[in-house]
Structure 1
Amino acid sequence: MSILYPVLDDFLPDYKVKEDLLNILWEDDLECEIDLETGKIKVPRDTLLEVISKSYRQNNYQIGFGNYYAAQVAIGGVKKQESGILYPVYCFATLFYNRERDVITTDVHPEMR
């Protein structure tokens, strides 16, 4: 096992990622409407949120967010896995974090990225 894994998981635990996503997409509502390239979908608040990846990205040039952390979540969970590609029940969300663990932005998308 890589030494980075426990450090990244301690820095950005699954429960924090899920809590942040709930607060961003659902706020206090029982369902949220997500506008995807393929159309709008409604997702209940009590749906499964499955964290599928976490990463740290270090950029040598000051582009975009600079250096940041990212966590990708399958909204509704993973319904199937085929040839190393995961397919969500609803869609994916990627949350981008700064070094203070504040969410910079969130991207919602139909495919795994």
Structure 2
Amino acid sequence: MHTAIEEALEKLLPTQQILDQLSEILADWGHEVSVGEEEERVHVAPDTKLELISKSALYTPYDLCFGTGFKVIVAIGGVVELDEKRSHIVPGICFITLWYNKDRKLITTDLSDTIL
């Protein structure tokens, strides 16, 4: 059962739209991402699992950082380890955070080994 918040977020920024956009981004990057402190280049096959981890709406009354908008976290390579007691998730390859403005236009992305 979905909550009203989940339904509203899905209506505003559909998960499939996010995953399709991420697939396009990965193709534009030549199906490679830079992972870790060493910026190691890792190949991401076109059929790699992309798994939504979180989607949130952000309200900022001041024009700080990215302002009002949306933040989405996706596990590239899917989730390979999950420990709900410690709130610990391990991605197959890495996490990507996608930042959208209030008009749902992608602003920027961040790659990370851990959830930002």
Contact 2:35 2:112 in 1 (8 A): no
User: What SS is found at the alignment partner of 1:37?
Assistant: coil
Identity of counterpart residues, as a percentage? Answer: 33
Task: Calculate the aligned-residue CA RMSD, in Å.
Answer: 1.7
Whether 1:93 and 2:96 are equivalent positions in the alignment is yes
* TM-score when normalising by structure 1: 0.88
TM-superposed deviation, 1:12:
1.0
Aligned residues: 112
Deviations 1:40-87 (A, max 9, x none): 122212100001100011112210111010110000000001222111
Structure 1, 86-95 or 11-20: larger mean CA deviation:
11-20
TM-score by length of 2: 0.86
SS in 2 for 1:44: coil
Q: Which runs of 5+ in 1 are unaligned?
A: none
2:75 corresponds to: 74
For residue 106 of structure 1, report the CA deviation from its aligned partner.
Answer: 0.7
Structure 2: 5+ residue stretches without partners: none
Runs of 4+ in 1 over 6 A off after TM superposition: none
Partner secondary structure for residue 44 of structure 2:
strand
Contact 1:50–1:77, Cα closer than 8 Å, also in 2: yes
Instruction: Name the counterpart of 1:48.
Output: 49
